[in-house]
Structures are given as structure tokens and as C-alpha cells.
Amino acid sequence: MLRAILSNDLPRSRILAALLIVVLVGLIIAPFAFPGAQALALAAKILVFVVLVASYDLLMGYTGIASFAHTMFFGIGAYGVAIASVRIGPGWSAVIVGTCIALVLSFILSTAIGLVTLRIRAMYYSMITLALAAAVQTLAGKLNSLTGGGDGLNFRLPQVLSPSFKLLAEPVFGVQLNGRIVTYYLLFICSLLLFLAMVRIVNSTFGRALQAIRENDFRAEAIGFRVVVYRTASNALAAIFATMAGVMFALWLGYNGPGTTLSFEIMVNILLMLVIGGMGTMYGAVIGVTLFLIAESYLRGLLQWVANSMHETSILAGLFSPDRWLLWLGLMFVLSIYFFPNGIVGRLRAN
């Protein structure tokens, strides 16, 4: 049963299997085990970014395409729901219409980009996608009537997803089952299904062809694979999954703006999460996202605690100042690359 669910792609490491179980169980019980808005927001962000990073792994880790326009599709998904909800009004019809329009637009754009640019050398393709992503972010910040400009769009969610909605009159394990909890478990189900779908894709005949193209595109072309077609299909699939991640993020936030889903910082974070977890593994997205987002969320507090405990030593206290959290995050990244050159999942699977 488990083999079928995971498409015969088992963790192949007891430590990795244990880590994945811990993450899965932690996300299932997060609203009850980790009360508080910050912890719930972190768990929801992990669910969204697992889908986003796994979709980029499909593109880069399995196909060998280095695109910098992945956040563009993430933003299209979020803007699709936001714009539809503002224009149509709160309700599931707006969510469905916005999602469908975003998916169609992402498919058309990704297919066009693939057919036009994937024939050129990888470096030039990366530069083109970088320029395209920057152009879309700038455009989103200028179209005030459509996207809300730099201020973005606030929109109302369907009633069942709004914080004021109460699923049950009485709390369960001390937690009131309101619209935020309903939204969280909706994201959990979507994230799990989308992730399993991507695992299925990379372990199919299509996925094996993508890996053959990644290893040697000339040889793959020689044995009969139409490289441009496969790369374009991979580009389109990755875009569709990234768009769904954007839809999920918009449903959680009830807001979207250029800096929320389209910024280059998000693209850098996607790369960091993927490298830390391990490219070409899918499970690397789960481990990389979880570790990175937990460090990003709680590293400042940890540094503040360390600095307070060393207040008598001004030099050390200054070194562990919360203002230097990016320094420590960068150091953690460098160390992870040094000790896990193939990512954490790659290292665990190699043992």
C-alpha cells in the first residue's frame, strides 16, 4: 500500500523515513500541538513551500533546467484568486474561476517560454527567465487597477475559511475549530495530494525520460527522445504546480502583492531550500523547506536568548545579536553544503 502511494519511491534510509514521519505527524497535529498564530502560520507556509520547491525540483533537479521565473507562476496563482475574489466577491466560485484562469495562463506562458527559449544554451535561458520574472514583478507593481499596485490586494475568503467561522461550538483539545483551522487542513490535503502527484510523475516513464535528458541531452536525442518537447512539458507541469502553490498561499493570507509572491528573494529561498534538502529527490523539498523555514522563523529568537545569556561578554553578545541572523543563516547554509554536497536527502540515501 505504501509503495503504491509513494510510486515505489521509498525513502531508502531509516533516518530519512523517520524525519519524513516526524514532519508529516508534526504538520497533522500542528494546530493542536503548537498553539499560537506564529506556529500555525509557519506550518501553513511549510505546506505551501513544499509544493513550490518540489515543483522547482521537477524542473531543475529532474530535468536540469535552471529557471529564475518560477516565482512568476507562484504569483500568477495568488493573483488569480485575489483578483477574482475582489471582482466577483467572496465565495468558492471566485476561488474556482481565479484558479482556472491562473492555471490556463501559466500553462500558456510556460509552454510558450519552453518552445521559444529551451532550444538555446542553458545560461541564456536562465538570463531570459530572470529578465521575464523581473518584468512581471514590475508590471504587477504598476497595474494599480488590476493588481492593486505596490500595495497589493486584500480580499475576503469564502465564509468557511474566514477566521470568524466556527466549525464546532466547543473547543477540541483546547483549540477552537475556526476558519483558520479549516483553511490549514485544506492546505494540508492539497499539499499532500500535489506532492504525491509529483512523486508519481518523476517515477513514471515520463520522469525517467526527463532524467535521461538531464544526464545527457545529446544521447537522449540520439535514442529518439524529443528533448525540446519533454523539456517544455516539464516546464509546463512545474508551472502548474507552482501556480497551485500560489493559490494555496493566497487562500491562507487573504492578500497578495508583488513582494509576497513575485520577489527575487523568494526565488533565492527556493534555491536554498532545494540545495539544502537535495535536488532530484522530491523528499529533499520536504526536509529543506522544513529546516529552512524553522531556522528563518526562530533563529532570531534563539540568537536573542544566546546574546542575553552572554551579556557579560560584550564581544560574544554582539556576535550573537539578532540583527546578525542572516549571517548565521548563511553560515548554516555553507556548512550544510560542505557536509552534505548532494543535500541532506542525497547524503542519507547514499549511506
Q: What does the pLDDT look like over 121-131, one tens digit per residue?
A: 667 788 888 89
Report residue 181's pLDDT band, with 50, 70 and 90 as the boundaries. Answer: very high
pLDDT greater than 70 at residue 350: yes
Is 107 among the domain residues?
yes
Is 328 among the domain residues?
no
Please tell me the predicted confidence (pLDDT) of residue 35: 79
pLDDT greater than 70 at residue 314: no
Q: How many CB atoms lie within 10 A of CB 312?
A: 7
Find all residues with CB under 8 Å of 239, minimum gap 6, and list them.
55, 70, 73, 106, 107, 109, 110
Is 112 among the domain residues?
yes
pTM for the model: 0.93
In this prediction, residues 202-222 reach a mean pLDDT of 90
Distance from C-alpha of 57 to C-alpha of 62, rounded to nearest angstrom: 6
Lowest mean pLDDT among 22-31, 174-183, 277-286, 299-308: 299-308
In this prediction, residues 56-60 reach a mean pLDDT of 95
Q: Above pLDDT 90, what percent of the chain?
A: 59
CA angle centred on 205, ends 52 and 125, rounded to 5°: 50
pLDDT tens digit sequence for 315-335: 666 677 766 777 777 787 788
Distance from C-alpha of 318 to C-alpha of 299, rounded to nearest angstrom: 15
Q: Domain count of the chain?
A: 1
Specify the higher pLDDT residue, 1 or 292: 292
In this prediction, residues 287-313 reach a mean pLDDT of 79
Look up the domain containing 181 and give its range. Answer: 38-262
Please tell me the predicted confidence (pLDDT) of residue 327: 77
Is 302 among the domain residues?
no
Please tell me the predicted confidence (pLDDT) of residue 122: 67
Please tell me the predicted confidence (pLDDT) of residue 311: 63
Distance of alpha carbon 134 from the chain centroid: 19
Lowest mean pLDDT among 32-36, 103-107, 283-287: 32-36
Is 56 among the domain residues?
yes
Report the phi/psi class of residue 280: left, alpha or beta, with left for phi > 0 and alpha for psi in -120 to 50: left
Report residue 29's pLDDT band, with 50, 70 and 90 as the boundaries. Answer: very high
Report residue 336's pLDDT band, with 50, 70 and 90 as the boundaries. Answer: confident
Is 53 among the domain residues?
yes
Please tell me the predicted confidence (pLDDT) of residue 317: 64
Is 216 among the domain residues?
yes
pLDDT tens digit sequence for 251-260: 999 999 999 9
pLDDT greater than 80 at residue 280: yes
CB 115 within 8 Å of CB 228:
yes
Is 235 among the domain residues?
yes
Please tell me the predicted confidence (pLDDT) of residue 156: 92
Please tell me the predicted confidence (pLDDT) of residue 316: 63
In this prediction, residues 241-257 reach a mean pLDDT of 97
Q: How many CB atoms lie within 10 A of CB 152?
A: 21
Specify the higher pLDDT residue, 193 or 301: 193
